[in-house]
Amino acid sequence: MWRRICSRLRSLRHWRRREAELDEEIRFHLAEETEERMAEGLSPERALAAARRDFGNVTRLREITRETWGWGPAERLFQDLRHAIRGVRRHRGYACAVVLTLAFGIGLNAAIFGLLSRLFLQAPPHIEEPGGIHRVWVQERDLRMDSLAPTGALIASDRMDWADFSLLRADPTRFAAVGGYTAPRPIRHGRGQSADELRVSWVTGNLFALLGARPALGRSILPEDDDLGAPPVATIGHGYWKRRFGGARPALGSTVSFDDVTYEIVGVMPRGFAGPEASAADVWLPLRIAATGSSGNGWQRTGTGFSLTPLVRLAPGVTAEAAGAAATAGLRGARADQDSWWRDAQATVVLGPILKARGPGALGDDMRLPLVVGGVALAVLLIATANVSNLLMLRVATRRRELAVRHALGAGRWGVGRLLVIESVVLAALSGAAALALAAVAGRVLRDTLLPRFWWADGPLDVTAITFAGVAALAVALVAALFPAVYAARSRGIARLDGLRGARALGAPVRTGLIVVQAALSLVLLDGAALFYRSFEAARQLDIGYAKERLLTVWLGRGLESPPLDESVVDSLEAHVRSLPGVLDVAQGTNTPLGTVGAMGGLRADGADRLPRMNGPFVNFVTSNYFRVAGQGIRDGRGFTRWDRTGTQKVAVVNTTFAGIVWPGRTAVGRCLFVGREATTRPSTPTPSTSDCTTVVGVAESPLEFGLHETDRIPHYYLPLEQGLADYEIPERFSRQRTLVVRTQGDPGRLVPPVLAALAELFPDLPADRVQSLPAIYATRIRSWTVGTGLFAAAALLALLLAALGLYAIIAFGVRQRELEFGIRRALGAQPSDLLRMVLSRGCALTLIGIAAGAVAGLWIGRWVAPLLFEGISPRDPLALAAAILVLVTAALAASLLPARRAARADPRQALQAE
Amino acid sequence: MSPADHRVDLLYGTLDLLILRTLVYGPSHGHAIARYVRHVSEDALRIETGSLYPALHKLEGRGWIAAEWKKSDKGKRARYYRLTLTGRKQLALQQSRWEQLAVAMARVLRPAD
């Protein structure tokens, strides 16, 4: 080994000596030549200049001579490398264009690849043998609201209620371990306005053992912690440990408290551990304890509300299919027995991999958006590759003379091709490095925008991303070098030492093709950006059933452990808020618009033997001005008045969804309801003749409470607050729920601080996030379009820039080639405007072909994007397409304009002299 | 007729032959070789510097000629090339090939003579 290195070094030294000798030889030649010229009577300066001119390009001569020295492969490689690096340094602008183009293409892809591999390929970190863990899905038909039968779309969910979950646990012959967890959700921690919010996941006591996840400190949650009598304990995540305790050991023994229950911290999980999903949790609590607290009150019994995501490990020898079939039989049997008409009796249990994205469920927006971004990044990479390939080809075309000389000296097809490949590899290495730097930044941005709730074990530049960048850089460089190399090798027979003529014809179809591809891809991206923007605008302007631009909500609700609200304090807060400048009116309700809703078990309606069981009907006890303040229109009958008070006739307002489901095609006003305990104690179904029933007096619009789709309109009924609290036997928790709905004159966001100050004074224990403006809440709801628009716009802009650069390079090259021709045309009487038009039309023609191809591709790709678009925005939206075409054509014109003007300036005199 | 017009393009491979032939008269440096060829061919053949030095180095690499640094007649250090034994054999071989080719070409071009 040592000897080999020595011999390499020797040959390197030897090589340097030969270089020096060659230089001296050249100097000698020049000196001789100069002397000869001086002997002919030239001045020394002119003699030297003439000698130099005759000698030609010294650098090139050196390079070519060196090739004849016949080195071994290593030296040759080294030489090529040196040559390539020298070339890169000599053509800095060109190299910059290539490196930046590739860096953007690869960097973006490396970043998104890291993200996608986390979502779709890698098991969550710190889990032992993740391949043996299955996520359990239930595939069933959705309950249709119109027919109130489980005949809707086939959906798959990885959440089960307690009853279904217990079925799995009851089958130890097939399932060696069954654990469950709740998706992390934000829970208020601590009291008052300084309180923070922690993401809490409730887990079964055996979950950590099932995952094989070991804590970094202390212990994880154990099966014993599930006992109702066990002391409340919590295990915290690494991120929260760092945040609150600065990563210090004393965290163990400290406490966290939620809903007035204090949990002792017994363990800290390792860095990057997020549970079975990458979605972040700060705290894990044992499920049983939560069950006794307010947030999970009675969920084991009723089987509603709280749901668990089940994970299983199979018993030895049991296949996932067999276990799924057995669980399916069990589930169907249970559903046949129960009174569960609203659930699909033909549901199927499917065991999927632990990775949620790989299961049978539909991908959520948080999964689909990264996929689309991946597609976008790929398109950018393709454009970048095409562009770089083009640049390399143009470079080859301008270097024909040099390459021809190399051929003439026997450099051979392979030699010239190799040189080009090595040049590309050098460029690729530089691009790879730049791409990694870019990926580090882009990765962080993408993580924050696309998956803000994920825990990441490592920085954005993990091994996968780095490997990806390296492999991609090399692959792209080779592909980009392939065309030029083939082209250069082919040009061998045709090459003459007579300059550039014919260069245009050679490889031109490929170059043109690449330009067309770039234009097509750019169009697809621009179209995507326009579609997302249209979605964003449509969503922003959507009428959600509330005056969403002018509302502020103050949620005063509390847990079951707290005393009921003091109505006089609520009223004084309302009075205070009402007196603030900019406030038009204040109403009260027990639900929060776009926020919390309350459901009540008891409800019966006349003329309806079934009512929806899931997603409503929800009840809201409201003041008489509520509908006016919230901006909720009354479609039929009337809203509440101040005379709907305790002691008068009991009245209700239902929303259009409620009316449509319960009394389809019939009028709702005048119908009769049994509400609360009445519904369970009274033997008969209510009819309008029933004395003492609650009469429906009006139908209100259905706001989009939870989502933005028509199916998100949920049945609701409203009762006057005063009657509700006094005249009904209702669950006690309603006396702890209250929201102030504030109608403002201008931007409600500006009223947050003064309202917050009032809240701090009257309800010092309530946290600051209880005051929210609807525009702010709504902004989070349409976030996927905001993010999508931003990402698409950025990618489209980048693509546009690259495509324009590519087009410019091609057109400019063509113009330089044809300068003589343009001059002759001018001499023959063509006007500059004719030449301008000629060049511009060529640029536009290429772009137009690309647009046609892109439009077709866009239509085809559209169906992948369609689910991400806002309802009613078709992926074939003509307006978006038109906008995209307009932008692209403008860019193409701009890119062709500079070279076109150069063509128009062609000098006829020069042309004539040259011929 | 300008002087450039009666110049003949060098055929592929002929440059090697010209160099070898020139060196028969003794060692010479690159500039002298180019000058000699131009002179003897009465300006019809002009060797491009851009081709000459690579060709010299190629022949040296093959061992047909050898190089050493000597003082030129004007006292400057110059790289002198001389024919090696292999080079002489190659010259004989290539020259006879060339002559055969020339005769054959002549027959084709002037069949009547």
Q: pLDDT tens digits for B36-93? A: 888 887 777 777 777 888 888 888 888 899 988 888 877 888 899 999 999 999 899 9
* Gap from B100 CA to chain A (nearest CA, Å): 24
Contact A853, A888 (CB under 8 A): no
Name, in order, each residue with C-beta under 8 angstroms of A907's C-beta and a sequence gap of 6 or more.
A823, A826
Chain A residues in contact with B77 by the CB 8 A cut-off are 24, 28
Task: Determine the pLDDT at residue A406.
Answer: 65
- Give DSSP secondary structure letters for A775-817: HHHHHHHTHHHHHHHHHHHHHHHHHHHHHHHHHHHHHHHHHHH
- Give every CB contact of residue A908 below 8 A, 6+ residues apart in sequence: A823, A824, A826, A827
A29 touches chain B (CB under 8 A): yes
Average pLDDT over residues A140-153: 77
Whole-number Cα distances in Å, A807 to A424, A780, A801, A893, A896: 21, 40, 10, 10, 7
Mean residue pLDDT across chain B: 81
Q: A717: pLDDT confidence band, cut at 50, 70 and 90?
A: very high
Alpha carbon distances (Å) from B82 to A389, A495, B20, B63, B68: 47, 33, 9, 11, 8
| pTM reported for the whole predicted model | 0.72
The pLDDT assigned to A785 comes to 84
Per-residue model confidence as pLDDT tens digits over A422-447: 777 788 888 888 988 888 888 888 88
> Chain A 388-417, CB below 8 Å of chain B: which residues?
405, 408-410
Predicted confidence band at A464 (pLDDT cuts at 50, 70, 90)? confident
Q: Which residue in B14, B19, B31 has the most chain A C-beta atoms within 10 A of its own C-beta, making it the best mutation to test that interface?
A: B31
Q: Over 70: is that where the pLDDT of A488 sits? A: no
Please check the confidence at residue A368 and state whether its pLDDT lies above 60: yes
Confidence check: pLDDT of A783 > 80: yes
Nearest CA in chain A to B10: A408
SS3 track for A483-542: HHHHHHHHCCCCCCCCCCCCCCCCCHHHHHHHHHHHHHHHHHHHHHHHHHHHHHHHHHCC
Please report, as a single letter, which amino acid is at residue A23: D
Cβ within 8 Å, pair A56-B49: yes
Predicted pLDDT at A482: 72
CA–CA separation, A85 and A423 (whole Å): 8
Judged by a CB distance cut-off of 8 A, whether residue A566 touches chain B is no
Each residue of A587-633: pLDDT tens digit?
A: 999 988 888 777 776 788 887 777 776 677 888 999 999 999 999 99
Q: What residue has token string 């003529």? A: A501
Any residues with CB less than 8 A from the CB of A579 and at least 6 apart, and which?
A: none
Size of interface A-B (CB pairs under 8 A): 67
Our CA-based measurement puts residue A385 at a distance from the nearest CA of chain B, in whole angstroms, of 35
| Interface contact flag, B55 A69, Cβ < 8 Å | no
Confidence of residue A299 (pLDDT cuts 50, 70, 90): very low
Q: Is any Cβ of chain A less than 8 angstroms from the Cβ of B79? A: yes
Instruction: Please give the ipTM for the structure prediction.
Output: 0.85
Calculate the average pLDDT of chain A.
82
Whether A26 sits inside 8 A of B61 (CB atoms) is: no
Residue type, A838: M
pLDDT, residue B2, reads 38
Give the rounded percent of residues in chain B with a pLDDT score beyond 90. 10
Residue A342 is predicted with a pLDDT of: 72
Task: Report pLDDT for A491.
Answer: 56
**Amino acid, single-letter form, for residue A301:** R
Which chain B residue shows the shortest CA-CA distance from A58? B50
> Smallest Cβ distance to A25: which of B30, B35, B50?
B30
Q: What H or E segment, with its residue span, contains residue A6?
A: helix A2-39
Residue A608 vs residue A309, higher pLDDT = A309
Give me the pLDDT at residue B5, please.
44
Per-residue pLDDT at A739: 94
User: Tell me: the pLDDT tens digits for A3-53?
Assistant: 666 666 666 677 778 888 888 888 888 888 888 888 888 888 888 888 888
Take residue A194 and report the two structure tokens written for it: 């300084």
A361 or A276, which is more confident: A276
Q: Which residue has the tokens 């946290």?
A: A767
pLDDT of A887: 93
Whether B78 and A28 lie within 8 Å, measured CB to CB:
yes
Percentage of chain A lying above the pLDDT 90 cut = 23
What CA–CA distance (Å, rounded) separates A248 from A319?
44
Weakest-pLDDT range from A47-51, A370-374, A849-853, A905-909: A905-909
Distance from CA of B72 to the nearest CA of A (A): 10
Tokens of A749: 């966001």
| Residue A710 pLDDT grade (very low, low, confident, very high; cuts 50, 70, 90) | confident
Say yes or no to pLDDT of A200 above 60.
Answer: yes
The residue to which tokens 């113009």 are assigned: A815
Residue A764: band (very low, low, confident or very high) from pLDDT cuts 50, 70, 90 = confident
At A828, list the tokens.
């023959």
Reported confidence tier of residue A295, pLDDT bands at 50, 70, 90: very low
pLDDT at A688 over 60: yes
Residues above pLDDT 70, as percent of chain B: 86
Helices (H), A561-638: 567-579, 626-630
Q: Is the pLDDT reported for residue A697 higher than 90?
A: yes
Our CA-based measurement puts residue B25 at a distance from the nearest CA of chain A, in whole angstroms, of 20
Does A265 score more than 90 pLDDT? yes
For the ranges A689-693, A697-701, A777-781, the maximum mean pLDDT occurs at A697-701
Rounded distance between C-alpha atoms, residue A737 and residue A565, angstroms:
8
Cβ of A400: how many Cβ atoms within 10 Å? Answer: 22
Nearest residue of A to residue B59 by CA position? A68
pLDDT digits (tens, 9 = 90+) for B75-88: 888 899 999 999 99
- Cα–Cα distance for residue pair A644/A551, rounded to 1 Å: 25
d(CA B105, CA B111): 10
Tokens read off for A818: 């044809």
Cis peptide bond N-terminal to A617, omega within 30: yes
Q: What region does A647 belong to: left with phi over 0, alpha with psi -120 to 50, or beta?
A: left
Reduce the DSSP state of residue A598 to 3 states and report it: strand
Asked whether the beta carbons of residue B50 and residue A22 sit closer than 8 angstroms, the reply is no
3-class DSSP state for residue B65?
strand
